[in-house]
Structure 1
Amino acid sequence: MLSIFYGRAYPFKRLLLTLSTSLSLASAAMAAPATPPDSTQQAPEATLPLPTPVAADTLPAVETSASALPADSSARPRRARKTDYQVAPGVTWHYEKPKPFRWLLHVPRDLVQYPGYAFRKENTKAIVGIGLSSVALWVADQVLLDWAQDFGRAINLEAKSTQKTLVYIPFKVGDINLPLEFNVPDNLNSTFYYIGDGWTHLGTAAGFMAYGIIKKDNRAAQTASQLGESILSTGIVVQAIKRSTGRQSPFVATKPRGEWHLFPSFTQYQSRVPNFDAYPTGHMATAMATVTVIADNYPEYKFVRPLGYGLIGLLGYSMLNNGVHWASDYPLGIALGYGFAKIAVRHGRTRVEAPAEPGTGFVPRRPQPWHQRIQYAPFNYGPYTGVSCSYSW
């Protein structure tokens, strides 16, 4: 460190100044590159000014602009994934990025949780409504079926549910035929019926997944996972009930409202499926699951439920018109799809708590009931004593 003193220089201080200057010049000479000696030039006698040392933590940070960096694609910032979505004032949902096909592992959990979710005390009215509506529709099944088919003939709506096969891959497990086929409808009634086809809902899920991957949108990706989860869970339960109740479909019914063959054997069921698979409807169940998952994840889009329920209504009519289902097959199927969709959505997102009011440090309280807003306080003002009553709006 170089110290400079003003005024009279004492011999001791002059000696320190000379030593410091010599050491600094020697250090500069060692750091400088070696140059060939030149006899015609002489080193100047004047001493160089020495820089004042500065602490490392006081040095200003050097900012490098993006234009100064080399053009390298790996150095470009990546688009951040979108995880939080505000769907209403004070309502924000957080979505994690789903792992590929992890939803398959959630299906057993959903099957176990469904009874506890469905048969809660607050669902008593809904359960009673499903039961009563199923009984009422069963009484009127034949009348409703005949009316739907008469109306279809009146408007020249073909009752057949015919489809054109685009892809057919034969596959057998023992004596059971389980081909992989992809069909498309070839008339208007079949188009309505195709709304409930599994390919329709799998295609919808694939669209959400593609959008989530391309746009880094976690909500869309989670919606796709929840669709697969709820549809598969619903399908398992629907098939179990179908194979237990064994109700005839209308177009093969041997008596009004069809016959019930409880617990048909596996061979009987596979050999004559329409004789046993009417109750409940799987098409309505999967359609309801799809609409519920999308509507719950995108509540800001108010048109989803009306549009979805309208399409479900067309699906319901088409299945009466082509004689695939009875009207009483619908309530339970709709309830199953709705319940499994709710479970899948509940596990696929988390609620983000509202931030505290600025400057208070307290989270805003929920509005209290009107009878709890009345506050009483005693007072004593001079000769007057009493109780004050206040009400906060």
Structure 2
Amino acid sequence: MTLLLALGSAAAAPTPRPDSVAAPRPAALADTVRPTAATAAGAPADSLPAKPRHARRTDYTVAPGVTWHYEKPRPFQWLYHIPRDVAELPGYAFKKKNVPMLVGIVGSSVVLYAFDQLITDGVQRGGRGLGITAEDKQRNLFRLPFHIGSINLPIEYNAPDNFNTSLYFLGDGWTHLTIASSFLAYGIFGHDNRALQTSSQLGEAILTTGLATQLLKHLTGRQSPNVSTKPRGEWNLLPNYNDYQNAVPQHDAFPTGHLATAMATVTVIADNYPEYRFIRPVGYGLMTVLGAAMLNNGVHWSSDYPLGIALGYGFAKIAVAHGRTRLSPATGLALPKPWYRRAQPAPFVYGPFTGASLTWRW
């Protein structure tokens, strides 16, 4: 059954006459190449040889009965999906199945907050005992001046110059950019849609997570341990923008952005490559090291971690859910989508009238 909704200069959408045109939706797998009987048997003698091209891989069986289909992502798809992901997070977070997780986030944050100062002092004493200082030491490798009006936004890269800074760099933006770029390069040169989608989902999840954590930092204004004026730090709710920018460590402890983006990165990769079971243990191990390093150098309190980690996990799950489709093991076809995701937009022409149409088929 087909339901057609047309919008345009016509008041209604009557049954199209033979002279009407509705542009068809492009084939979902138009970029997939599969050998045909003609190509296998060889072309006729009077035909011209077709230019060979590599087959693009789209379907991946990751476990018995579990096959995922990946479309090639559109350019900058990750960027304009950010508003959608932000809007979907509350619905995802407050699902009934996620209630225990929410209770765990709140409970662990409260318990850790009660012991924040003791935990921070203990980790820093242990670090000094191991000869790991809290000094943030970096060396500049390149710097490109860049201005937007009176705002100075240089493009630069600083490399860590001691052990503690190297651990802290596990959560640096350059680390995640390198990982996402690696998947992008492999997807392009290997004609691999899963790698391309993973790169796109990484950009989507990391940027959305970064925006959410920055918003919360600007709302809560919690002091970092290395500049705190009282045990567990002051909370300066809704700090003035200029005050925040002039003294960032005085306001940006809660929640953690480094662990949030690290969790988003690990979750996206692990969900798209579940057959590689080492991804989560290695990723969580590196996140533990990063968390300890940030306590050691006084950037974060331990109670900054649960909410940040949860945000990264949630946004990664949303990005992955929209970036692939599970195929039915019986038919090899995509499993049905919810009705609200079945709309097919197309131009609509009826005599002298033009407009746009939305078609639902079920």
* TM-score, normalising length: structure 2: 0.78
1:305-316 alignment to 2 at 5 Å? 305-316=280-291
Q: Is 1:94–2:69 an aligned residue pair?
A: yes
For the pair 1:287 / 2:289, whether they are aligned, the reply is no
- Choose which of 203, 206, 219 in structure 2 pairs with 1:244: 219
The residue aligned with 1:342 is 317
AA of the residue aligned to 1:330: Y
- 1:268-307 correspondence to structure 2 within 5 Å: 268-307=243-282
Give the Cα–Cα distance (whole angstroms) in 2 for the partners of residues 140 and 170 of structure 1: 43
- Which residue pairs with 1:122 in the alignment? 97
The amino acid of 1:155's aligned partner reads L
Give the superposition deviation at 1:102: 1.5
Q: What residue number does 1:113 align with?
A: 88
Question: What's the CA shift for 1:172?
Answer: 4.1
2-structure distance, mates of 1:355, 1:64: 30
| AA aligned opposite 1:170 | P
Within the candidate set 172, 175, 178, 1:203 is matched to 178
Is the partner of 1:75 in helix, strand or coil? coil
For residue 383 of structure 1, what is the aligned residue in structure 2? none
1:354 and 2:329 correspond: yes
For 1:233, which of 200, 208, 213 is the aligned residue?
Answer: 208
CA displacement, residues 62-100 of structure 1 (integer Å, 9 cap, x when unaligned): x9858x899x9x834211100000000000000001111
Shift of 1:223: 0.2
- State the alpha-carbon separation in 2 of the partners of residues 285 and 136 from structure 1: 20
Deviation at 1:173, TM superposition (A): 4.3
Distance 1:335 1:223 in 2: 20
Distance 1:190 1:284 in 2: 15
Matched, 1:257 2:232: yes
Aligned match of 1:372: none
Residue 62 of structure 2 aligns to a residue whose secondary structure is: strand
Query: 1:163: which partner in 2?
Result: 138
Q: Which residue of 2 aligns with 1:145?
A: 120
Counterpart CA distance in 1 for 2:300 and 2:91 is: 29
Tell me how far apart the structure 2 counterparts of residues 69 and 282 of structure 1 sit (CA, whole Å).
63
Deviations 1:344-364 (A, max 9, x none): 00000000001269xxxxx9x
Identity of aligned residues (%): 62
User: Equivalences for 1:162-201 in 2 at 5 Å?
Assistant: 162-173=137-148, 176-201=151-176
* Counterpart code for 2:286: L
Partners of 2:246 and 2:214 in 1: how far apart?
A: 15
Take 1:69 and 1:247, find their aligned partners in 2: how far apart are those partners? Answer: 76
Query: Aligned with 1:97: secondary structure?
Result: coil
Give 1:268 shift: 0.6
2:81 is paired with a residue whose SS is helix
Alignment of 1:68-79 (within 5 A): 75-79=50-54
Distance 2:238 2:147 in 1: 24
- Rounded to whole Å, the distance in 2 between the matches of 1:165 and 1:221 is 31
Gaps (5+ residues) in structure 2? 1-37, 336-362
Provide closer, same or farther for how the CA distance between residues 175 and 139 of structure 1 changes in structure 2, counting only shifts above 3 A: farther
Aligned equivalent of 2:9? none
How much is the aligned-residue C-alpha RMSD, in angstroms? 2.2
Whole-Å Cα distance in 1 between the matches of residues 145 and 156 of structure 2?
Answer: 8
What is the rounded CA distance, in whole Å, between the counterparts of 1:147 and 1:175 in structure 2?
44
1:94 aligned partner, one-letter code? H
Offset at residue 170 of structure 1 (A): 3.1
3-state DSSP class of the match of 2:52? coil
Where does structure 1 lack aligned partners over 5 or more consecutive residues? 1-60, 358-362, 364-393
CA distance in 1, matches of 2:144, 2:331: 59
In the alignment, what sits opposite 1:317? 292
Highest RCO, 1 vs 2 (Cα 8 Å, sep ≥ 6): 2
Q: CA offsets, 1:189-211, max 9 Å, x none? A: 11111010011001100000000
Q: Deviations over 1:131-189 (max 9, x none)?
A: 01001111111111111111111111122122211122233445544322211111111
Greater radius of gyration (CA): 1
CA distance in 1, matches of 2:134, 2:46: 69
CA distance in 2 between partners of 1:263 and 1:235 (Å): 18
Q: What amino acid is aligned across from residue 350 of structure 1 in structure 2?
A: T
Task: Describe the shift of the 1:147–1:87 C-alpha distance in structure 2 as closer, same or farther (beyond 3 A).
Answer: same
User: Aligned letter for 2:261?
Assistant: T
C-alpha separation in 2, matches of 1:94 and 1:164: 44
CA 1:128–1:199 in structure 2 vs 1: closer, same or farther (change >3 Å)?
Answer: same
Q: Counterpart in 2 of 1:389? A: none
Counterpart CA distance in 2 for 1:275 and 1:169 is 28
Q: How many residues align?
A: 295
Query: Is 1:215 matched up with 2:190?
Result: yes
1-structure distance, mates of 2:265, 2:135: 26
Q: Distance in 1 between matches of 2:46 and 2:182?
A: 38
The structural deviation recorded for 1:125 is 0.9
